[in-house]
Each structure stands twice: as C-alpha cells, then as structure tokens.
Amino acid sequence: MNDSVTQPNAMPKRQAAFREDFRQRIARFYSGPLHVLMIFGIGIAVIWYSVQHLNNPPWYAWLVIPVVFLVANLFEWWIHRFVMHRPIKGFNNFFMAIYTRHTLAHHQFFTDHEPTVDSNRDFRIVFFPPYALVTFILMAIPPTWILIYAGLPNMGWILMMTSVFLYLNYEFFHYSCHVKDDRLAKHIPFINTIRRHHIAHHDVHIMMEKNFNLTYPFADWLFGTSDLNRGVLGHLFNGYSTAHVKQKQRKIVGASDDPQAGVARAETSPP
C-alpha cells in the first residue's frame, strides 16, 4: 500500500486563492461541529424513531436492506455524475445551485494536490447543508408510506432507517476522504478504498468522467466509470493501491491552474 494518495506537488495558486476567498465568505456564526451535530442528530433521531416501530420483523423484511443499498448506490452515482457535475438550467436554478456548490466550489477548494481540511470551519464545504438530509428523508417517505399501507410496516421502517443510515454513511465517508490526518483512515477497509477513489476524482483531469461513488464504488465498477481496471471485489477492497489504475484515461484539461479547468477537450494519453 502506498503511503499517500495525493499528488506530491504544492497547492496550485488557483486553489490557494480560492480557499482564501471562500474562507472569508463563511458566515461569522457558522460552526463546523454544530453543522455536523445537526446532520447526525437529525439522522440518528430518524433511525431511532424507525427502530421503535419494528415489531418482530420476519426474515424477508430484512431483504429491504440490500435493495436500498443498491438503489442508494446507483442514486449517489447518478446525482454526482449527472447533477453535481452538469450545469442544468431551469427548475428555478435548483440544479444549477447544486452544480455551482459542488463543481465550482468543492472541486476548487479540494484538489488531488491538497484534498484535506485545515480547520473545522472548512466543514462548511465538506458536508451538505442539513436541509439536504431533510430532502432525502422526504424522498424516502413515499416508499415507506406505501409499504406501511400495503401491510408491510416492518419493511417500510427498515427502508426508512436504511436510507438515512446510508446518507450518514455518505457524509462520514466523504469527511474521511478530506480529513487531514489519514493515519487511521488508510487502515480501515472501505474507508481507505473510498479515500483513494475520491481523491483521484478530485484530479481535474478526470473529475467529470471518473469515480462518482462516495461510499462503495460499486456503480463506478458497474458502469465503467472507475479509474481502476479490476473486478468488483477488487474495487471494494482496493485500499490505497494504485497498481490497477488504468493507464489510458480521458484527458480533460492541461493543468490545475488552467482557467478552462473542467472543460472537456480531447482524448489523449497521460504524460
């Protein structure tokens, strides 16, 4: 296993300038720990409430868990690839705001040269705002409601608690990708895999095309959007290894300080 998953170069000037400007714009009353506490507090409260409604679930009710895992994994891949990295106009700028916040802010703040936070005020650009979790919970209510009123209440509540768990899983893994000290993270299965996978995604050369999963890189393997060339188990347990990174990848821009960063240009081989 390699000791580092970051590029050895110093932070690009463009990134340093963006960081300085962004930090000046963080509101005075913002608190990183309160931001995280709010997300996990709401999430754990919903999970607790769902568990209270379980009543001797039959064995088949638990089959909801792998189904939700699969759907959530595909959804995470889809929204990251086709909403967070694509400027979609209309809808009262709802999708454009997501694109701006992610591609034009998160990816400028974190690159593969410097992908880590410096203080807990940087949590502002790592974690989603708490209303994203509330939106996700609202999206999980209709299928939960349908299952409950179809006479399958245990399946409904398992669906709700699994959905919220996976949202918290996403936030925790994403934070693990951007945490400064990786002495622990690099030894934990799945977390070490997603940290390398996601930091590679922050390379402006591949960010529009590769590595969209943020929990388990299953959909990236399934749809061929991973930077690795190996099987599904190899993807899930890859860790920090770069032994299977594809040698020929689509080249999108020239340099991190390129003002056209993120604009697709041509198919080329790596230098």
The site for other proteins (CB under 8 A) is made up of: 24-27, 29-31, 34-35, 38, 42, 45-46, 48-49, 52, 97, 124, 129-131, 134-135, 137
Q: Which is nearer to other proteins, 49 or 237 (CB)?
A: 49
- AA letter at 16: A
Give the DSSP H or E segment for 61.
Answer: none
Q: Which is nearer to other proteins, 105 or 236 (CB)?
A: 105
Least separation in angstroms between CB 217 and other proteins: 28
Half-sphere exposure of residue 227: CA atoms within 13 angstroms, side-chain side: 29
Least separation in angstroms between CB 131 and other proteins: 4
Task: Answer yes or no: are the C-beta atoms of 121 and 32 closer than 8 Å.
Answer: yes
- The structure tokens listed for 200 are 């590679």
Q: Which is nearer to other proteins, 165 or 218 (CB)?
A: 165
Q: Which is nearer to other proteins, 18 or 221 (CB)?
A: 18
Least separation in angstroms between CB 221 and other proteins: 33
Report the distance separating Cα 110 and Cα 206, nearest Å.
14
Give Cβ neighbours of residue 97 (< 8 Å, ≥ 6 apart).
none
Q: Which is nearer to other proteins, 14 or 121 (CB)?
A: 121
Least separation in angstroms between CB 45 and other proteins: 5
Give the DSSP H or E segment for 224.
Answer: none
Least separation in angstroms between CB 199 and other proteins: 25
Report the distance separating Cα 110 and Cα 29, nearest Å.
23
Q: Which is nearer to other proteins, 24 or 247 (CB)?
A: 24
Taking alpha carbons only, the member of 152, 258, 157, 143 closest to residue 207 is 258
Least separation in angstroms between CB 156 and other proteins: 15
Q: Which is nearer to other proteins, 129 or 231 (CB)?
A: 129
Task: Answer yes or no: are the C-beta atoms of 212 and 201 closer than 8 Å.
Answer: yes
Report the distance separating Cα 58 and Cα 63, nearest Å.
10
Q: Which is nearer to other proteins, 21 or 267 (CB)?
A: 21
Buried b (16+ CB within 10 A) or exposed e, 67-104: ebbeebbebbbeebbebbbeeeeeeeeebbebbeebbe
Least separation in angstroms between CB 177 and other proteins: 20
Helix and strand totals (H; E) in the chain = 10, 0
Least separation in angstroms between CB 159 and other proteins: 17
